[in-house]
């Protein structure tokens, strides 16, 4: 499936720009109030800004992705630009810019998170990076809140002679495996235990013995060895440490071979609120789609608050078993099944009995 050209977030519609957007594009890139951290980086003339738009349109024509124009969902007014640019086939550069009145409302983070997830799910498997001046503290916070890590520095072509280089922030990387090496296994086990103890709904209650979790991990490894399960790892761009994992399991019924069940979606509890869950789901979708999978299903426990998160990842409720999960005597939760079509076809019930 090609990457979708239009993406929607909670508050925004992200769509490719057109020639008809020239005036809005020029105005956005000629407002000195939004270039306070680097005035020299602003387009110096309207023609310069228009040339930037032409390069952006050419990038879309060549690569099939690029920078979006961001519109407010309610007013349909332009609030900014965001997206990704291929830099010489070496990495994908995440870029965003807001209109002045859009600053300070979390829109930059919303754009950045959506762009990063889109890259991991659909775009070429290149490092995803953001180049940020450390003096630009809001953008530094946005990069970290998007799930990126500092990995180095880079001098930009338009830097002034005495200007510090930009910090390179990079997204976690995706790996699909059918066996764990010793280091990865220990990290996955540790992640699982810490997720349990932090209250995550991954098969155990807080305080579950490590040996019990280890036995559950061995069961997944047996399924991996049998060719029925793939583990999806989200690894740090700094040291390859496992930051998140999920398991994609194929059932034994050949009539369901176009489907998979997602199990044990876990991210580092110490980095909650940094978009790792969304990045992990994007990675899971990518791995499944590359295997030809059309439908994913997963289960959540009622009361966990996870239905809303998975809904933001495109999942819809397909059914629930009332009171199926007993967390304590007399305390029960519903077992909810959520599904998503990876080809984005609408799920329509077959009402034949």
Q: Please compute the mean of the pLDDT values over residues 169-194 and round it to a whole number.
A: 97
Q: Does domain 7-170 have CATH number 2.40.50.100?
A: no
Contact (CB, 8 A) for 52 and 27? no
Question: What is the pLDDT at residue 44?
Answer: 92
Which token pair is 44?
Answer: 């110096």
Residue 141: helix, strand or coil by DSSP? Answer: helix
The pLDDT-based confidence of 1 (bands split at 50, 70, 90) is low
**What's phi and psi for 152, nearest 5 deg?**
160, -160
Domain boundaries, the chain: 7-170, 173-341
Q: Please compute the mean of the pLDDT values over residues 206-223 and round it to a whole number.
A: 94
pLDDT at 177 over 80: yes
Q: Please compute the mean of the pLDDT values over residues 5-20 and round it to a whole number.
A: 96
Q: Which whole-number Å values give the CA distances from 17 to 57, 70, 97, 114, in the listed order?
A: 7, 9, 14, 17
Q: DSSP state, 188?
A: H
Domains 7-170 and 173-341 share a fold: yes
What secondary structure, in 3-state letters, does 307-326 show?
Answer: HHHHHHCCCEEEEEEEEEEE
> Side by side, which strands form the sheet with 316-328?
173-177, 229-235, 242-249, 259-267, 295-301, 331-341, 316-328
Share the mean pLDDT of the chain: 94
pLDDT single digits (tens) 40-95: 888 999 999 999 999 999 999 999 999 999 999 999 999 999 999 999 999 999 99
* Residue among 123, 222, 240, 256 nearest 231 (CA): 222
Q: Please compute the mean of the pLDDT values over residues 204-230 and round it to a whole number.
A: 94
Contact (CB, 8 A) for 167 and 141? no
Among the listed ranges 27-41, 45-59, 271-285, which one has the minimum average pLDDT value?
A: 27-41
* Residue among 73, 156, 66 nearest 115 (CA): 66
Q: Please compute the mean of the pLDDT values over residues 262-284 and round it to a whole number.
A: 95
Class of 173-341 in CATH: alpha beta
Question: What is the pLDDT at residue 314?
Answer: 92
Percent of the chain scored above 70 by pLDDT? 100
């Amino acid at each position: 499936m090609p990457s979708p050209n239009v993406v929607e977030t909670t508050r925004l519609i992200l769509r490719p720009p057109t020639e008809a957007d020239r005036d809005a594009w020029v105005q956005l890139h000629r407002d000195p109030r939004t270039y306070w951290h680097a005035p020299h980086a602003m387009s110096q003339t309207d023609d310069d800004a228009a040339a930037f738009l032409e390069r952006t349109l050419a990038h879309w024509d060549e690569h099939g992705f690029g920078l979006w124009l961001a519109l407010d969902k309610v007013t349909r007014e332009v609030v900014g630009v965001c997206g990704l640019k291929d830099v010489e086939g070496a990495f994908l550069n995440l870029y965003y810019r807001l209109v002045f009145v859009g600053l300070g409302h979390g829109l930059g983070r919303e754009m950045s998170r959506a762009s990063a997830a889109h890259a991991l799910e659909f775009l070429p498997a290149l490092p995803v990076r953001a180049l940020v001046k450390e003096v630009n503290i809001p953008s530094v916070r946005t990069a970290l809140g998007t799930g990126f890590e500092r990995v180095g520095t880079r001098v930009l072509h338009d830097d002034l002679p005495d200007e510090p280089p930009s910090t390179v922030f990079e997204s976690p990387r995706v790996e699909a495996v059918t066996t764990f090496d010793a280091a990865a296994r220990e990290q996955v086990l540790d992640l699982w235990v810490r997720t349990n103890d932090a209250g995550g709904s991954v098969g155990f209650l807080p305080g579950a013995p490590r040996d019990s979790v280890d036995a559950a991990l061995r069961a997944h490894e047996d399924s991996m060895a049998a060719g029925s399960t793939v583990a999806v790892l989200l690894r740090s761009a700094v040291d390859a440490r496992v930051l998140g994992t999920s398991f994609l399991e194929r059932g034994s019924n050949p009539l369901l071979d176009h489907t998979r069940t997602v199990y044990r979606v876990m991210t580092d509890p110490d980095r909650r609120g940094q978009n790792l869950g969304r990045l992990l789901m994007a990675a899971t979708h990518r791995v499944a789609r590359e295997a030809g999978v059309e439908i994913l299903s997963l289960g959540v426990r009622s009361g966990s608050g996870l239905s809303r998160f998975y809904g933001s990842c495109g999942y819809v409720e397909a059914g629930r078993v009332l009171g199926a999960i007993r967390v304590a005597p007399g305390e029960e939760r519903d077992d909810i099944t959520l599904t998503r079509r990876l080809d984005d076809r609408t799920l329509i019930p077959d009402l034949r009995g």
